[in-house]
Structure 1
């Protein structure tokens, strides 16, 4: 069962992405003109998406993938183009609506199934690979590890995810962000120290069958994210 803190933050994210930030997110994830700051975020997300895709086989025919926190579906679409059967889930109905509209390509060799819901829902089924790109960065390390444990129980090959790495600059930005009135700020990013996260993962019995196989940090201006791969031993 998700913890109370996970459920609370998930509710904040649903409100933020479905109401407050819809237009900004739609522009950021398209080729529309954006500010210099958002351009660096867009470039960072594109680089991270390419990195995670490089950790998967080029030919994904016959593989089932969960895009956990799919947003507007860019990763899902690329995986389907490689032949994967993709279940893409997000808490925001509006973002899922955008994803469906952007993925209207009848010539895809794979299959795309966009759903509104919780990425930890066991009813989504089993998968060869689970990808959670920038969808766990708003959670504390304890909730991240518990979420990974639940996802790993339904993952047969690898689990790819990103966290916000704990750096002096990101920690300062995180602290300053908390000074703004709650209604005027996005759900906080929770900086995580990679070493501490690895130790938590090692102590989690449900994650014992997996090991950290790869780690890569992507930094592009105002985008900073750390990717990790948990693979079956």
Structure 2
């Protein structure tokens, strides 16, 4: 069994068990500790940036969007509220169930996103935009390349990815154990060099359109939009 396969199994098991409870709290609005509150703030910055990009384009209503690695629906729900046609997935069945419940509560008049439990490589269909936020951190570079290639095959006009950037500072932070601190961290954390992500996208025929960096004390995420 390869390391990449091990990572997928670890991620699935973690987010169906202890990780589910932890991240459901972080992505909610209840009481959390200082570190979790900081991560919540950073993650929300990434969500807000993506929504601002899409809303600025003025064509979000009716747009077909795949939210790959949707978690508890932090992005899927506001996309649906803005009128997008959202297909959302997550490797964790528990996360998908939570996202569905939150969507029903937030969108009483519907329509709600279509949710499914699936790993990224098993996704099918064609979408105007494919978005994958804060997922690549769980996978090494060789695995990430294949995942990006598959996500690219689903997208007609745009791919939006976020990843933890590989810089000297963040590499040092990870090395000393400050990366996603706390007793509940149970998955490996992988950093990716921006040039490597860009190279993969450009080799697949994409042009980098917009970039952003969202960071707090314990959260850092580089955001890239690629278009055709």
For 2:49, the equivalent position in structure 1 comes to 51
Note if 1:63 corresponds to 2:63: yes
Note if 1:82 corresponds to 2:82: yes
For 2:208, the equivalent position in structure 1 comes to 212
- Once the two structures are TM-superposed, the CA of residue 107 in structure 1 deviates from its matched residue by 1.8
- Once the two structures are TM-superposed, the CA of residue 102 in structure 1 deviates from its matched residue by 0.7
C-alpha distance in 2, partners of 1:167/1:33?
32
TM-score (norm 2): 0.88
Unaligned runs of 5+ residues in structure 1 are none
Structure 1 residues 166, 103: closer, same or farther in 2, change over 3 A?
same
Structure 1 residues 196, 118: closer, same or farther in 2, change over 3 A?
closer
Answer yes or no: is the 8 Å Cα contact 2:18–2:184 preserved in 1.
Answer: no
For 2:225, the equivalent position in structure 1 comes to 229
The farther-off stretch of 57-66 and 212-221 is 57-66
Describe the superposition over 1:111-132 as per-residue Cα deviations: whole angstroms up to 9, x where unpaired.
411111112224x311110110
- Once the two structures are TM-superposed, the CA of residue 185 in structure 1 deviates from its matched residue by 4.2
Answer yes or no: is the 8 Å Cα contact 2:72–2:95 preserved in 1.
Answer: yes
C-alpha distance in 1, partners of 2:112/2:21?
27
C-alpha distance in 2, partners of 1:213/1:143?
24
Note if 1:114 corresponds to 2:110: no
Runs of at least 4 residues of structure 1 off by over 6 A?
Answer: none
C-alpha distance in 1, partners of 2:142/2:37?
32
SS of aligned partner of 1:96: helix
For 1:32, the equivalent position in structure 2 comes to 30
TM-score (norm 1): 0.86
Describe the superposition over 1:126-166 as per-residue Cα deviations: whole angstroms up to 9, x where unpaired.
11101101011222223222211111112111100111111
For 1:92, the equivalent position in structure 2 comes to 92
C-alpha distance in 2, partners of 1:79/1:103?
11
C-alpha distance in 2, partners of 1:175/1:143?
21
Answer yes or no: is the 8 Å Cα contact 1:84–1:111 preserved in 2.
Answer: no
C-alpha distance in 1, partners of 2:109/2:184?
42
Unaligned runs of 5+ residues in structure 2 are none
Alignment length, in residue pairs? 220
For 1:172, the equivalent position in structure 2 comes to 172
SS of aligned partner of 1:120: helix
CA-atom RMSD in angstroms: 2.2
Q: 2:17 aligns with which of 16, 19, 24?
A: 19
